[in-house]
Structure 1
Amino acid sequence: MFNHHSTGKECRTFYKVYGDLKSGVRPLVCVHGGPGVSSHYLDVLSDITLERSIPIVLYDQIGNGRSTHFQEKGGDLSFWKEELFLDELKRLLVHLGIYDDYDLLGHSWGGMLVSRHSVRQPGGLKRLIIWSSTCSGALWLEAQAVLRKRLPQDVQDALDRCEKEGTTDSKEYQEAVAVFYARFLCTLDPMPGPMQESFRCMETDPTVYHTMNGPSEFHMIGPIKDFSMLDEAHKISVPTLLINGWNDEAADSCMYPYFKLIPRVRWIQFANSSHVAHFEEREKFMEIVGLFLTEEV
């Protein structure tokens, strides 16, 4: 728990630990995407704990899932900003007693957060995984515009019409967005239960997503659109693994600057995945991440 100067209440961060943080094995802290979903969909990363005895830490970011919510702060950009989440991550690392020795994985929006955290060169960070994320909001928007043109024309028309008329909360818009998600977010049908639960959490309280992002992945109007690591990625000094899928909304153009700029980096793409390779190619994903975390540098 922690206090924030602009709130009148105590903030609590929900976290879950798989494995033993005192085992002597360096833990992996996992930062979920959204922003606005919960960490439920990352629970399966505990496969790595079962297979390699690596402790895994998951947590729900402030305003999300089982952590403290601030619906009264909807639209308040002085509150919902990157620094809030970076501060929360550091507080969690200190609280768990692992700030001096940990690995970090960030998915989607979480990848943006961990990349920013990493350029501050915290002494305890040993390895970094940036998974299905982007090096800048502008690159993300460009990629979504390209992917959107691959949708059926009637779906494109529905998206255009609803955005123009300001009816992005309509059933028509949500159904059109679902077509996009089925191609570039999660290709599994039905969507895995943990993912459904994470989305249910966001639907119950969309404050963070609507404020920081906007109505959809490709209609980004919040401050995330201005995110950029293009001038800072070269400062990431730890060994870094980049991951995305062949049909990922985090297209190659979003990931490439990280590959170009980070000195100690490798990039692996999953041929049969979109945005959630840990479900779509689960066994292979766990093997590759596990090997990266345990190999000698």
Structure 2
Amino acid sequence: MSVATALDVPFRDGSTWVQVTTPDAPRPEALPLVVLHGGPGFCHDYLRSLSALSDETGRTVVLYDQFGCGRSSHRPEASPDFWTPQLFVDEFFTVIDRLGLETYHVLGQSWGGMLGAEIAVRRPEGLAALAICNSPASMELWAQAAERLRADLPDDVRAALESHEAAGAYDHPDYVAATQEYDRRHVHRMTTTPQDYLDSERLVEQDPTVYHTMNGPNEFHVIGTLRDWSIVDRLASVDVPTLVVAGEFDEAAPETWAPFVEHIPHVRSHVFAGASHCTHLEQPQEFRALIAQFLKEHDAPPE
């Protein structure tokens, strides 16, 4: 069985909580995988199942809570301009350096895929391959897709969303219930919400600073500092093999991730039928099998 070890990595004036899972039977050619969670600020918990890739592929798997959430240092008093993509790029390289990872793969889910793209366009020497999962290439495209998906909601749900957004009443029970209907269709299409997801949700509710500042009150009402973010015009700089993954009913609709496929030179994509935004929770074995095969193709050659 794999072994999970936690450590705190000093970053800025605080620390980043990191979990390193090492396999019982490591494959020498299998490069470490660094997993980037979404949100921003949603914590690693809902991605815990990806640690199974350690034993399944014989590689080290690294998950961490990004600065400002979960078990890492929190800064609820920080000004909005503190929370930038560059902050999290810097944090990533701090973690990589602390762990001594010279060559590695990156998998990012949702915001994590956006962050993974931000890392890849900088062409770090150690990056071997990138998996962008359920992620948009620009928040304008994300917002446009959200409007289209919202238009398909029942009339009473749309009315609740619109009236409470106009009033700024994002914590009103009717508004919360309306957002949950959107989530059931496009975030996690499951009868019972997995505990891993609930754990992340609980932690972000305890301190929503990063999520509310950068994103907004929920998945589809993006009024935070990321609302104008785009990486479309920089994607040609990505020089590593890239896999783009999405679900058939994903809130990251095809038009949001199409620029990754159109502009990254070495790229392929896969859409999971019947799945939505949390594909890795809805179809865990199939998701991990796809990722495992992609990583294996781009591992270090045997010596």
Structures share fold, TM-score greater than 0.5: yes
Question: Using the alignment, how far apart are the partners of 2:202 and 2:152 within structure 1?
Answer: 27
Question: Using the alignment, how far apart are the partners of 1:56 and 1:2 within structure 2?
Answer: 20
Match of 2:5 in 1: none
Match of 2:38 in 1: 33
Residues 238-271 of structure 1: per-residue CA shift (max 9 Å, x gap): 0000000000000000010000000000000000
Tell me by how many angstroms 1:46 deviates: 1.8
Match of 1:54 in 2: 59
Question: Using the alignment, how far apart are the partners of 1:3 and 1:277 within structure 2?
Answer: 31
Question: Using the alignment, how far apart are the partners of 1:202 and 1:122 within structure 2?
Answer: 30
Match of 1:45 in 2: 50
Match of 2:6 in 1: none
Q: Which one of the candidate residues 192, 195, 198 is aligned to 1:196?
A: 198
Does the aligned pair in 1 maintain the 2:76–2:209 contact within 8 Å?
yes
Match of 2:81 in 1: 78
The secondary structure found in structure 1 opposite 2:270 is strand
Q: Give unmatched runs, 5+ long, in structure 2.
A: 1-8
Moved over 4 A (4+): 20-23
Moved more, 163-172 or 129-138: 163-172
Match of 1:2 in 2: 10
Match of 1:141 in 2: 143
Does the aligned pair in 2 maintain the 1:37–1:198 contact within 8 Å?
yes
User: What does residue range 1-297 of structure 1 map to in structure 2 within 5 Å?
Assistant: 1-4=9-12, 10-19=13-22, 24=28, 25-73=30-78, 76-98=79-101, 100-295=102-297
Does the aligned pair in 2 maintain the 1:272–1:281 contact within 8 Å?
no
Does the aligned pair in 1 maintain the 2:139–2:226 contact within 8 Å?
yes
* Aligned residue type for 1:53: G
Tell me by how many angstroms 1:189 deviates: 2.0
Question: Using the alignment, how far apart are the partners of 1:295 and 1:86 within structure 2?
Answer: 26
Question: Using the alignment, how far apart are the partners of 1:89 and 1:247 within structure 2?
Answer: 30
Q: Give unmatched runs, 5+ long, in structure 1.
A: 5-9
The secondary structure found in structure 1 opposite 2:131 is strand
Does the aligned pair in 1 maintain the 2:23–2:55 contact within 8 Å?
no
Question: Using the alignment, how far apart are the partners of 2:207 and 2:186 within structure 1?
Answer: 24
Question: Using the alignment, how far apart are the partners of 1:139 and 1:214 within structure 2?
Answer: 16
The secondary structure found in structure 2 opposite 1:16 is strand
Does the aligned pair in 1 maintain the 2:15–2:67 contact within 8 Å?
yes
* Aligned residue type for 1:230: V
* Aligned residue type for 2:247: G
Does the aligned pair in 2 maintain the 1:213–1:221 contact within 8 Å?
yes
Higher-strand-fraction structure: 2
Does the aligned pair in 2 maintain the 1:63–1:208 contact within 8 Å?
yes
Kindly report the root-mean-square deviation, in angstroms, between the aligned alpha carbons of the 2 structures.
1.5
| TM-score, normalization by structure 2 | 0.92
| Number of positions where the alignment pairs a residue of Structure 1 with one of Structure 2 | 289
Q: 1:41 to 1:187 in 2, by over 3 A?
A: same
Residues 46-76 of structure 1: per-residue CA shift (max 9 Å, x gap): 2211211121100000011110011112xx2
Tell me by how many angstroms 1:112 deviates: 0.6
Match of 1:7 in 2: none
Tell me by how many angstroms 1:281 deviates: 1.1
| TM-score, normalization by structure 1 | 0.94
* Aligned residue type for 2:14: C
